[in-house]
């Protein structure tokens, strides 16, 4: 069993680290966070590295599907600027992975080359006001009229919808289907289509990566935009289930990066802050906190690495991806909060970045499937 990074992954990691150091200095990240500004310029520069092609086959101008490589990108960016990491997710995962895996040939030709270049972004429009974790209860409808679907309804907490070019949207195309999940379809909806309106939700963290309420009012969408083609009408639930394991992995990678960033802040402060004639890191109480934090981070990394390997090799990974998402995001929250404790009163001050890591960490055990839902998945796979 070899735990060493492959040479191409080591080089990728170093490239992204250099990018973050040069293009995402702490002062700029702090400024963008305070302004809640979408980091489009930074994303364009990131795309120029070619990393937006890591989930896209070479025949569509990508680098070939390399999930672990894409995870490395998410992790390294999220250490410094989690919101930019999520914009990358919109490109590489919401767009590249989903279209490459579930799209038909025409859709792949239309979207994947532009995704590989970082020219377009996708959102994942699943959650509804009255159907959060219970996605199969979605009530946004799509009524087929001729060669179009007329979409009506609403979605909420949709990441980056207002900055995206397309939304992969879960709609109900058969109201009479039983069980209810059999009447659902995934439809590629242009974000600027007539009848689509959006409103940003003010939130605590991940500033720069928006969360939106989306309203569909008689939105006409070509029937050819059914993800995978017309034969996948009313088969969206199976497609969704087939992609959620990768979504769990990408959120886990965000959590790992946030945890590492918060840990680095805490270690640096513990070495510099003097109390009672010595750095506070010399006190056993602080040293033990940091030791526990580091152990949790490394355990999360191992789960993520194994999950990425399973998914890359098309092996069953439902329980592993749920464990990765649950554990890594809870680690991010715990490490950030413990880091704030190490900073003491200064951790509560906006001039120190540890407070941003706390704010950003809190959404991770919620978005992409709550920790409680992940535990349910794990329990079911154990036969409980």
Query: pTM (2 decimals)?
Result: 0.96
CATH class of 124-234: mainly beta
CA distances, 224 to each of 105, 110, 143, 228, 239 (Å): 12, 12, 14, 9, 16
**Which tokens belong to 276?**
């009672």
Provide the Cα torsion 219, 199, 165, 138; round to 10°: -60
**Which tokens belong to 257?**
């990066």
Half-sphere exposure of 60 (CA within 13 A, CB side): 28
pLDDT for res 107: 98
Distance between CA atoms of 99 and 97, rounded to whole angstroms?
A: 6
The CATH-assigned architecture of domain 7-120 is Orthogonal Bundle (1.10)
Beta strands 278-279 and 148-159 are unpaired
Going by pLDDT thresholds of 50, 70 and 90, the confidence category of residue 131 is: confident
pLDDT tens digit string along 345-364?
999 999 999 999 999 999 99
Residue whose C-alpha is closest to residue 355's, from 337, 372, 369: 337
Beta strands 148-159 and 184-190 are unpaired
Contact of 157 with 86, CB cutoff 8 Å: no
pLDDT for res 237: 96
Residue whose C-alpha is closest to residue 94's, from 230, 211, 201, 250: 250
Task: Evaluate whether 7-120 and 238-381 have a shared fold.
Answer: no
**What's the DSSP call for residue 56?**
S
Q: Domain spanning 238-381: which superfamily?
A: Butyryl-CoA Dehydrogenase, subunit A, domain 3 (1.20.140.10)
pLDDT higher than 70, residue 1: no
Domain regions of the chain by residue span: 7-120, 124-234, 238-381
Cis, bond preceding 367 (omega within 30 deg of 0): no
Q: Which of 233, 247, 250, 260 is catalytic?
A: 247
- Residue 247 among the catalytic residues: yes
pLDDT tens digit string along 240-253?
999 999 999 999 99
Provide the Cα torsion 227, 232, 238, 240; round to 10°: 10
């Amino acid at each position: 069993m070899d735990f060493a990074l492959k040479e191409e992954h080591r080089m990728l990691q170093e490239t992204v680290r250099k990018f973050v150091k040069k293009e995402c200095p702490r002062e700029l990240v702090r400024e963008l966070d305070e302004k809640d500004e979408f980091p489009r310029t930074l994303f364009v520069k990131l795309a120029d590295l070619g990393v937006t092609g890591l989930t896209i086959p070479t025949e569509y101008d990508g680098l070939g599907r390399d999930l672990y490589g894409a995870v490395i990108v998410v992790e390294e960016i999220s250490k410094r600027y989690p919101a930019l990491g999520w914009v990358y997710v919109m490109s590489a995962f919401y767009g590249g992975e989903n279209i490459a895996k579930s799209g038909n040939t025409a859709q792949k030709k239309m979207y994947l080359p532009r995704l590989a270049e970082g020219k377009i972004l996708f959102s994942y429009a699943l959650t509804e006001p009255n159907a959060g974790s219970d996605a199969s209860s979605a009530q946004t409808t799509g009524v087929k009229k001729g060669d179009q679907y007329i979409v009506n309804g609403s979605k909420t907490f949709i990441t980056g919808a207002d900055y995206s070019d397309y939304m992969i949207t879960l709609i109900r195309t058969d109201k009479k289907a039983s069980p209810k999940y059999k009447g659902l379809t995934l439809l590629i909806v242009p974000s600027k289509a007539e009848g689509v309106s959006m409103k940003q939700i003010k939130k605590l963290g991940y500033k720069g990566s928006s969360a939106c309420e989306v309203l569909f009012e008689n939105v006409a969408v070509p029937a050819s935009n059914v993800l995978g083609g017309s034969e996948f009408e009313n088969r969206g639930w199976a497609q969704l289930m087939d992609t959620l394991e990768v979504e769990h992995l990408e959120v886990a990678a965000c959590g790992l990066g946030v945890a590492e960033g918060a840990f680095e802040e805490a270690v640096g402060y513990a070495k510099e802050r003097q109390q009672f004639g010595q750095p506070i890191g010399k006190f056993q109480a602080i040293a033990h906190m940091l030791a526990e934090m580091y152990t949790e981070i490394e355990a999360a990394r191992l789960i993520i690495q194994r999950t990425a390997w399973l998914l890359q090799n098309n092996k069953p990974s439902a329980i592993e991806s749920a464990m990765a998402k649950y554990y890594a995001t809870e680690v991010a929250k715990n490490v950030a909060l413990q880091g704030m404790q190490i900073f003491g009163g200064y951790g509560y001050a906006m001039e120190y970045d540890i407070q941003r890591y706390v704010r950003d960490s809190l959404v991770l055990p919620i978005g992409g499937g709550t920790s409680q839902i992940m535990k349910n998945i794990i329990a079911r796979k154990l036969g409980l």
